[in-house]
Amino acid sequence: MSMELNRQQAQLAFVESGENIVIGTLDGVGVSLEALKKIDDDSSYVVESFSSGLTAKVYHLRIRGRDWTLKRKRPESLVKNVDGQTSFLNEVQRRRDLTALKQQNPEKYSHIVETQYASLNDGILLSPWIEGALITHFDADIFKQIFSTISELELAGLFEWDFCPGNILIDKMNQIKLFDFGYMYQFKPMTQFNSNGQDTPLFNGVERFETRFLFDYLLRNPLDLTLEQILDLYRMEKSAALAAYQFKRDKLIAGGADSSVVEWVTNSIDQWQHALESPSGLEALYRIESFRSNSLDLMDDLHGKSCSPITLKKADQVLQYIENDFDVLKQANGFFFGDENMSQAELLIKYRGLKTDAKKYQL
């Protein structure tokens, strides 16, 4: 049985057990647990509410002059798979882990939100309100913060799968904050690649950010960047990722990591270094990774039956790469999960069918 299936079965069993997990305290907050459980859009504490979350509804509260974020579990997750159905449990578990890590080393995990109080069975998560906004532009420092945090989390044995645009905020001081951990899972960094063990080497923290955020951002292209500007941004991102993973590799070696893990990280480092050596190398890797990330995100939306108009754009992007760059992708081993065994014509049929499915699963 795979690690993923083991984890899913363990999470379902935990839910069935009825066992509770409680973190922190409401002492000094000025509101009771029962009052938090009854909060709705009309409550006097509510400044604003956000209904876009697939597994929880979020409220901005003001209590005794202090601002808070209240996350209330939805009665039923809008993500129709096991990970979606158990994501609130998983988030509470990870909040417990992250609270302990932040107590041990506040500076190392400064970009992780604090948890004031959480109760699994009550469906409640209360955190200080983050005075921030969604990231609308990137610079070298933002990339550095993101990848240094990812590396530290992975070295601590926590693998985040969902670095989507809505899960990273940035404040007026240009400091990022991660605050959603419904799809962060434990793993053993000295012997495993990610929370699937060594079964899925395609996935690492940098790829997760690129797939869930960066290539989504570049596809939407809110700043109307030219291809040259996109490649400049990609170079900046890859340089920051390279530095973070060189640091990670050093820590893995110092910690006695298995040679297979060190080799796996080194392969990524070598690939990025080679791409950064020339404009043509960078553009080639950009096309390969853009295909990878758009196809993975398409599959993810289909798996959760949680598609949107941008899912259709990703399907179109993937089809365009198959039509125009098939030989390049084939030569670079850019196809995966069985696609490497299919012809160009077969892939076009497959992904046209997936686009049709994405139309059916629009939320």
What is the residue-level pLDDT of the chain in tens, covering all 363 positions?
A: 799 999 999 999 999 999 999 999 999 999 999 999 999 999 999 999 998 788 889 999 999 999 999 999 998 888 888 998 999 999 999 999 999 999 999 999 999 999 999 999 999 999 999 999 999 999 999 999 999 999 999 999 999 999 999 999 999 999 999 999 999 999 999 999 999 999 999 999 999 999 999 999 999 999 999 999 999 999 999 999 999 999 999 999 999 999 999 999 999 999 999 999 999 999 999 999 999 999 999 999 999 888 999 999 999 999 999 999 999 999 999 999 999 999 999 999 999 999 999 999 998
Tokens matching residue 112: 């992780």
Residue 217 within any structural domain of the chain: no
Sign (positive/negative) of CA torsion 184, 190, 196, 202?
Answer: positive
Read off the amino acid at residue 192.
Q
- pLDDT for 223 equals 97
Residue 121 within any structural domain of the chain: yes
- Boundaries of domain holding 87: 1-129
- pLDDT for 81 equals 87
Residue 180 within any structural domain of the chain: no
User: Contact at 8 Å (CB) between 184 and 90?
Assistant: yes
What separation in angstroms does the CA of 273 have from each of 197, 229, 270, 321? 26, 20, 5, 24
User: Contact at 8 Å (CB) between 327 and 294?
Assistant: no
User: φ, ψ for residue 117 (rounded to 5)?
Assistant: -160, 145
- pLDDT for 78 equals 85
- pLDDT for 273 equals 99
Residue 41 within any structural domain of the chain: yes
Residue 220 within any structural domain of the chain: no
Residue 52 within any structural domain of the chain: yes
- pLDDT for 122 equals 97
For the entire predicted model, the pTM comes to 0.95
Residue 70 within any structural domain of the chain: yes
- pLDDT for 55 equals 83
Residue 335 within any structural domain of the chain: no
- pLDDT for 294 equals 99
- pLDDT for 53 equals 82
**What does the alpha-carbon distance between residue 278 and residue 201 come to, in Å, rounded to a whole number?**
26
Domain count across the chain: 1
